[in-house]
Structure formats: C-alpha cells, structure tokens
Structure 1
C-alpha cells in the first residue's frame, strides 16, 4: 500500500520483478507478526485483506500473490491454530478461484462479485464465503425494510453450508442504526415490523454531478469512487490522475465523485456503471474497475487531446 501505483509497473517490467518478490516477502513477515499479536489479544479469525486482488490479472496473481498468501494463511492456520478469511474489494471475480487455492478457510467479497458464482467456487474448494450486502444503495440510503429484503434475497442465494451474510466491505459512516438492527433482527428471527424509519441521513444531499462540457484542447477526468480516503483501489486511481497533472498543466480538470452520496449514486446509475472505481475521460468510461498505468493513462489522454 505504501509503495502505491508504482507496484503495478514493477510487476510488468522484467528488470523489476525481483523487487516485487522482495516486497511480498516482507509483507508476509509483517502479516505473520501482526497475526501473532492478534492471537495474543484473543482473536479467533484473522482476515487477510488484499484489496488489490481485483486490480491484477490471474497471471500476476499466480506469479506474485498466490505463494506469499498461501504461506501467510498456512502460518495462521497451522502455527497459530486460528481460522483465516481472505478478503478483496472490487470486482475480484477473475481471481476468486485462485483465492480459494491459498489454504484459506474462506473468501469474502463486496457487491461487485456475483454471490451465486462465489458460492459455486467456494463449494468447489470446500471453503466458506462471506458477503455482500451493498454498502451505499442499501445499507446507507435504504430503509430498514429494504435492508431486510436484501438480506432475505442474499440468504436465499447463499443458503447452505459455509455462507456468512455480511456487509460487502467497511460499513459507511452514518449508516442508520435501524438498518443494521433490522438485518440482525431478521437473521435472529426477531424482526416483526416492515415500517420505514425516517432519518435525516437519508435526506437528499444537493445537486447532481453533471457532465462537464469539454473545450477543444482540454480533457476532463472524473473518477467515481466509494471514497479514496478509505478504499485502496479508489485511492490509487485518484493518484494515477494526480501523477499526470504536471505533464498537462492547464489542460486537465478532474473531480472525484463519491458514491457515498445520493448524487453520486444517481451519477453512477446514469452512466450505467456497475463496478467501482471507474475513470471517465471526457464523460466516457475508459477504465472500469482497473487502475491504469501512467503510460495507459497518458495514451488515453493524448488520444482525446
């Protein structure tokens, strides 16, 4: 995470692949140390969280990620005697099967992943699977009744051994407590009312994010995110834009449109965007749930200039 977007370039260049391996070995050791401290604190399940699984190809996962993750998971299970869950945010669909091959007890994922497919993969490898209540459209902005209906739908899909109903990722700040209580009550069999709660946090939040009219010789970049302050892929996509700004001084304007607002959700639906983060250039989706390298972003900008 501290290495930033430069890590992707190092995965691609032959001369720098050894640097990636060295960094991964270091991260495994840090992971082992932290897991040991967690056990001493009384933790029973360790979540090995790798938000970048959605950003790398299966080939790169096999080359750089699978062996170190397996080593860490094996340490947690066999040496510490704990259970381990492997989590990735974003559309990690292409790597779900590889995640299951890392000696994990289970996989967890967000709303970008199809629950029925995840169930199929998890059952194949006899691991548990957790997810994937939508964070904003349902948990943050939905009513208690809508949250119960979504939980009911997901339990129907995931029912059977190994399924854990859970939020897709970090619960957004200001998620109405009645929404969380309604889900818990439904699962425990205590939910009796479908009355909608009124909560000021559900109020509209102002003007929509509109298309920006682009002048000749200029480029407008929009990054739609959950929140770059808390979502690693979102942060890297915003960093990618900031990285090229000096090269195009005065010719690029950009904004981050957060889906933690109703305006952001409307923007996302208007564009037909299903996964996050997404980068638009001149109001056209160019990089969907994948962080571009600097070279790829420059090429896309030059094409539109």
Structure 2
C-alpha cells in the first residue's frame, strides 16, 4: 500500500514526538529514530536478501531505492514535528563487506542525508555490532554524526571523526556497566570514554538501546558526573559487577554446557536480545530455518547477555562480539549471520 503518515502506528509516533519536543525540546536535542534502508530491505525481503545482492543485484538496488524513499518520508515527517535530528538505525550493515557497503548502502544513504540537510535537519547514522570495517564509509556519506556500540574502538573513530569533521556518539557498555555495574563503575567508564572522545564533536552515550531494567541511579550518576563533575561515594552500598557475578556463581544460577548424544549437536547463539537487535534476530532465525532439516538432531538455545548468568556464560566461552554462534561450544560465526548453505555445511561437518 501507499506509504502515508496516517497509517498504522505512524500517527502515534509523530504525536509522541511532538509532545517530547514541547516538553524538553528547548533544552535537549530530540532524536527521531528511523529504520535504515538496508535493514528495512532485509525486513521486507527476508534474510535471503544478503545472498540476493550477489545473485540479483538489480533487484537489490531497486528494493534499496524504494526503502531509501521510505526513510526520506519518515525523516521529513519527524522534522515537521520539531525533532532536531534524524537518527538512521541500520544495524544489518555490520553484516556486509566494505565493497558491498559502497555498492549498495552508500547510494541509499547519500540522498537521505541530502534530503535531511535540505530541510535544515541534523542526521546521524547508527550501526550496531562490530561495524569497524564500515565506519569510515559511514562518515564518507557526509552525515552530521555516527553512532556505534561497545564493540567498536572509540579512539579509532575519534581519529576518523577529526579527518571527516563528523560528530561521533558512543559507546558505554550496556550490560556489564550500565545494567549491572555500580554508580562508581559507571562514572569510571564515562570518564574513560570522555578522555578518549574529547570535547570536540563527541557525544557520550550508551552503545545501543538501554536494557529495560537499567537502574535510574546509574544513569543519574553518569549525568551528574558529566554535567557537574560529581563522583559517587565509594561506600554507597551498591554492588560492583564483580561482586554481582560472584553472587550469581554462589547461587549456581548459571547456564552450563549442554551435553549431546552421539549423532546430535548443540548450537548456542549469544545475543543482546533477538527481540530487539536485528543482527541477533536474523542469526537466531537462521538456526530456526534449518532445524527442521535435521530431524531432531539439533539442540539449540539463545544466551542473552542481559543477565548475570549470561555474562558469566560469555566470559566462560570467551565470546567478545555479538551476535556469535557456537556449535558444540566452538565459535563458528562471529558477528556474521550465516546463509542457509553455510550453516548446513558447518552442521553436516560435525554430524559427519
């Protein structure tokens, strides 16, 4: 159907943005987040779109051009509400090579950036996961800023930001610091980030969406430190991450290895949360899609790092990037969503 502002949840989103702008817009920048063209194309065409770019590049470009047009419309409607900045959230671009980014993503982002600038708006680009290989290409699209998660090296980005005169935003750890750390640990990490990012063009922020249960006192501690230099009391009574993990271990609340019988394998997907993280979602779906082909010989689970037991599990496995897929406790796909053929090949190799 024709994409108009009166359909679905769009009116609700626009009305909510107007209210936010009227309440805090005179003192605080209001960012309107939209789904980026590449990730939107995957949502519409399915995970096969990744291989489809190679097998049918003309179709891929046609779909991406359509999605870029949708992003332009959403940007225009959000700017009409008084929002100051449009944040283009395109997490699935972490799954492709710089060559494919330049060929397929850049032509969809550049006109979007120009459209926002023509309307007097500010535009930023965000990619979650280990987007290191494409950070410079994101900057070359000439946005006002880029954002990234904790898997990307802040010092590296700071150097590129100075080269391209682009703001950069990130990248405090979501779970190990803001969710489970103490106010003192949160302020310590904030100070470390600011020391690296500096005070020219750097916006201190979480690396991605805050987990729902992130304590307000941790966020307040960071805000008070950044704005007024207030450092929390060391004896404030909050558990450190190390103490919290020890309590978790003592209570035996831990995800253990799964022992499999002969002729079966165990697949584990370590994620932030497949319900809210697009690369995590597609990695989980890749396992779901092949499971019926192996007639009960696959046992699998998703391990979320939004719990203390999940953090302990990832430490035990030596997993450092998300999402990661392990087969029989061996890392096989690290921050890359496998195709159906690739995943089946790895499973068959182990099932012999």
Q: TM-score range by the shorter chain?
A: over 0.9
Preserved CA contact (<8 Å) 2:183 2:232:
no
Match of 1:123 among 156, 162, 182: 162
Partner secondary structure for residue 269 of structure 2? strand
Aligned to 1:176: 215
Distance 1:234 1:46 in 2: 24
For 1:98-133, what per-residue CA distance to the aligned partner results, in whole angstroms no more than 9, with x for missing partners?
Answer: 000112111100000000011111111110100000
Aligned to 2:82: 42
Distance 1:66 1:107 in 2: 14
For 1:211-244, what per-residue CA distance to the aligned partner results, in whole angstroms no more than 9, with x for missing partners?
Answer: 1122221111000000000000000000000010
RMSD, matched Cα: 1.6
Preserved CA contact (<8 Å) 1:109 1:131:
yes
Pairs within 5 Å for 1:130-145: 130-145=169-184
Cα offset, 1:270, TM superposition: 1.0
Aligned to 1:256: 302
Preserved CA contact (<8 Å) 2:89 2:125:
yes
Which has the higher mean CA deviation after the structures are superposed, 79-88 or 4-13? 4-13
Q: How many equivalent pairs are there?
A: 301
List structure 1 runs of 4+ shifted beyond 3 angstroms: 195-199, 202-206
2:265 corresponds to 1:219 = yes
Partner secondary structure for residue 275 of structure 1? coil
After TM superposition, the score normalised by the length of structure 2 is 0.83
Distance 2:106 2:252 in 1: 45
Partner secondary structure for residue 147 of structure 2? strand
2:111 corresponds to 1:71 = yes
2:191 corresponds to 1:152 = yes
Partner secondary structure for residue 42 of structure 1? coil
Question: What 5-or-longer segments of structure 1 have no aligned partner?
Answer: none
Question: What 5-or-longer segments of structure 2 have no aligned partner?
Answer: 1-42
Choose between structure 1 and 2 for higher RCO, CA contacts under 8 A separated by at least 6 residues.
Answer: 1
Preserved CA contact (<8 Å) 1:144 1:197:
no
Aligned to 2:321: 275
Q: 1:279 to 1:192 in 2, by over 3 A?
A: closer
Aligned to 2:54: 12
